[in-house]
Structures are given as C-alpha cells and as structure tokens.
A = this chain, B = another copy of it.
C-alpha cells in the first residue's frame, strides 16, 4: 500500500513562478540581501523529517556539478533517470538510480520502508503533482520578478485545490507558504 508514504515539496520560487532562469541558472538565489544569519527557512527541519529524497536527473547533475561536498549526508537519495548515471563509489549505497511512473516510484519507496520523502526538481515535482502524490508543498517565494525561466508549475489535468497550512515571512523578504491539498 502506498497511501502511507508522504511526499513533500520544499522549493524556492521567484514571485513570478520560476525556479531557475531559462538556462538553469539559480545564482539569483545567492543575492547577499537574502542571507539571514542562522536562518535556514525550515530546510533542516525538512531534512530531519524525511527519510529519503527523490530528485530528477537534472537536479542530481546540478548538485554534482556544484563542486561542493555531497549535501545530503547519509540520507537515501533516489535519482530518477533512464540514462546511464555516474554514481561515485563514496555515494554508492546512499544514491540509487530509479525509473518508473510516480506511482511506481512511490510504491517501490514504500516497499523499501520509506515513509516521508522529499521530492525535488522541477519536472519531478510536476509529474508527482499530476499524479496526485504530493501531500505538502513548502514554497518559499523569493521577492524578485525574473520575467522568464523554468517554471515551478506546469499543466494539470484538472484544477488542484490547495489550502495554506502556514504562512510566514522574513526580514529578507522571503514569503513562505506551506500548502496542503484539499
């Protein structure tokens, strides 16, 4: 049974709905005006409560390409890809490639004993939303209009009704809404 698995989205998005510029650039998030000493905007609480991450291949490649240490510690990471993937020896065991429909992915994760999963990456989020598998979305609106780029949301088969569970904002201008589903 897959209904016990909780899939969460936690993502930053410009006020006009973009998660990255058209070329994938997210450097606009590094605006020094956005830094708030000691504030993680809920990220560590998220990482504490999830027992796995599911990310798209693009997100994996971006994270690997950042030139920083693997940021997810020992957390189980599933990378959705149909292509050959280079998983270095030090990540083997923690990072695994998977493919399938969102329902199949969730079913496999549930069978592996996972209960709460962080869903990351624009295309993966849209696929899981369309499949009705997301139970919570924490969206941090960054106070900027980019005008163009890669959108957080895409087509849906029918209207998806939401309800705000919590809304907060910070002195740096971030506005975060935690959305549940009606």
Contacts and interface: CB of A to CB of B under 8 A. Distances in A.
A35 B143 CA distance: 29
A73 interface: no
Contacts of A162: 15, 143-145, 173
Contacts of A141: 177
Nearest to A17: B17
Contact of A28 (B129, B146, B159, B167): B159
B160 A153 contact: no
Interface string A1-23: 00000000000000111000000
Nearest to A129: B145
Interface in A150-175: 152-157, 159-164, 167-169, 173, 175
Interface residues of A, number: 32
A179 interface: yes
A131 to B, nearest CB: 14
Interface string A97-140: 00000000000000000000000000000000100000000000
A77 B160 CA distance: 35
Given A17-B16, A17-B17, A179-B15, A145 B173 contact: no
Interface of A: 15-17, 28, 129, 141, 143-148, 152-157, 159-164, 167-169, 173, 175, 177, 179, 182
